[in-house]
Structure 1
Amino acid sequence: MSLKRVLIQGVDMFGERIGFLKFKADIFDKETGKKVRVPVGRLILELPAGMLDDEKGDFVGTAAREVEEETGIHINLEDMVDLTAFLDPVTGCRVFPSPGGCDEEISLFLYRGHVDKEVIMQLQGKETGLRDHGELIKVRVVPYKNLWRMTADAKVLMAIALYEMAKREGLLPP
């Protein structure tokens, strides 16, 4: 990748120190010449994710759409289990990745369906994503038992924790 420009859009100071820095970076894939998004400045193994783009506010529909956009796999909504729904209702049944810094809230879902092993293996290294939105995604298939050690993505680690706790307490459907 190639960094062409960084535009500082805003700075929040914490006394003498920089607290939050909002910037826009123009980063291009050297092979394709297309602009890509790399908010943290490095590549991180993460789950398919996206923002609610429509008025419906449909978390499960957004999750299924993102899985299809980012992997090419179509999943049925009825095969999705909302892991955050197992949280106590006082939490709002959502997860706040950084409650001290922003009001972002997310739901995490488990897909309980079948995908042929051949289809999964064909995903390894596949390039996906919406290029016109700056997405350049390279799919990486990782064994579940190794996943927690291979990522710094909080969504992945939260999803693993919620899944393991729900499984341990017998909350997952058969």
Structure 2
Amino acid sequence: MAEGLISDTDVSVTLIDGLSEEELLQFPAFKNWLQTLKSNLALQSNPSHEYHKSPYALRDIKIQAIDRFGKRIGFLKLVATITNAEGDFLPGSMFLRGASVGMMILLQPDDLPADSQDEKHVLLTVQSRIPAGGLKFVELPAGMVDRGSFAGTAAKEIKEEIGLEIPEGELLNLSELAIPEGEEEETCPRAMFPSAGGCDEYIPIFLHEKRIPREQLGEWSGRLTGLRDEGEKITLKLVKLDDLWREGARDAKALAAWSLYEGLRRTGRI
């Protein structure tokens, strides 16, 4: 293990063997988490802030473990010590993995009137999710983000998973519509956090609506797709939009998408 100070700060960091400070600071998930935390801790200087009288500060960071995807860091486990002058602390044990994307694909037969809201179906995937202990986990299509825009990454993931071409210009970010920029004091990604108590992962939810031939709806259901060379086996599942809350009840992305879509439609924002 090695110990030192994070560049340009007085925060002590304890590394593990095989991990340098430079590599740690270049890991996007760590860099984004640290920047966000520091920005929001700085807000305590405002007299109206709840913690102004006894502000919290980040004292040290202890890296506990990393998983690599090839040579690069994929997942990182750490504990951050955040205390105030009275010795009170904020929980700081976490797993960093970075942002993901979720895609709500609404398909509708093209023989219906253009303004019809009938027969809308959501495309879901069924695949193994070993951390959940399941081999047939039903969820919204999703993927991790490494670089590039969320929209571009989302479209690439969907093409890889189900073979559907989605132009970036035809994507609608439901999360950003529901969380207008600049309305909140704290700096935080405009997205859904499925497990904010222990993980940094956040997931913006995108919408893509497409009208397709009625017979194609049947062709896509149950087709085995996926990235075979990466061990993925993905079966498609088409469900009625009205049933998404039930069919995707285990998946935070599906529930978030259904809620965002219904709320934004009800308020006339989509």
TM-score range, shorter chain: 0.7 to 0.9
- For the residues of structure 2 that align with 1:37 and 1:165, how far apart are their CA atoms? 29
Equivalent residue in structure 2 for 1:98, among 186, 195, 200: 195
Shift of 1:120: 2.2
Equivalence for 2:41: none
- For the residues of structure 2 that align with 1:136 and 1:39, how far apart are their CA atoms? 16
Aligned residue-pair number: 142
Equivalence for 1:52: 145
Gaps of 5+ in 2: 1-66, 68-76, 79-92, 95-127
Equivalence for 1:75: 166
Shift of 1:118: 2.2
Equivalent residue in structure 2 for 1:134, among 231, 254, 268: 231
Gaps of 5+ in 1: 1-8, 13-18, 21-35
Equivalence for 2:215: 118
Equivalent residue in structure 2 for 1:62, among 134, 149, 153: 153
Bigger strand share: 2
Question: For residues 12-46 of structure 1, what are the alpha-carbon distances to aligned partners after superposition, in whole Å with 9 as ceiling and x for unaligned?
Answer: 9xxxxxx99xxxxxxxxxxxxxxx65331112211
Residue 39 (str. 1) matches residue 131 (str. 2): yes
Equivalence for 2:60: none
| Greater radius of gyration (CA) | 2
Shift of 1:123: 0.8
Equivalence for 2:255: 157
> Over aligned residue pairs, what C-alpha RMSD do you find?
2.6
Of 130-139 and 149-158, more deviation after overlay is shown by 130-139
Q: Secondary structure at the match of 2:258?
A: helix
- For the residues of structure 2 that align with 1:149 and 1:97, how far apart are their CA atoms? 18
**TM-score when scaled to structure 2?**
0.48
Amino acid in structure 2 at the alignment position of 1:133:
E
- Asked if the contact 2:151–2:168 (Cα under 8 Å) also holds between the matched residues in 1, the reply is yes
Equivalence for 2:176: 85
Question: For residues 109-166 of structure 1, what are the alpha-carbon distances to aligned partners after superposition, in whole Å with 9 as ceiling and x for unaligned?
Answer: 1103323322222111111111222211011111111121112101000000011111
Q: Secondary structure at the match of 2:238?
A: coil
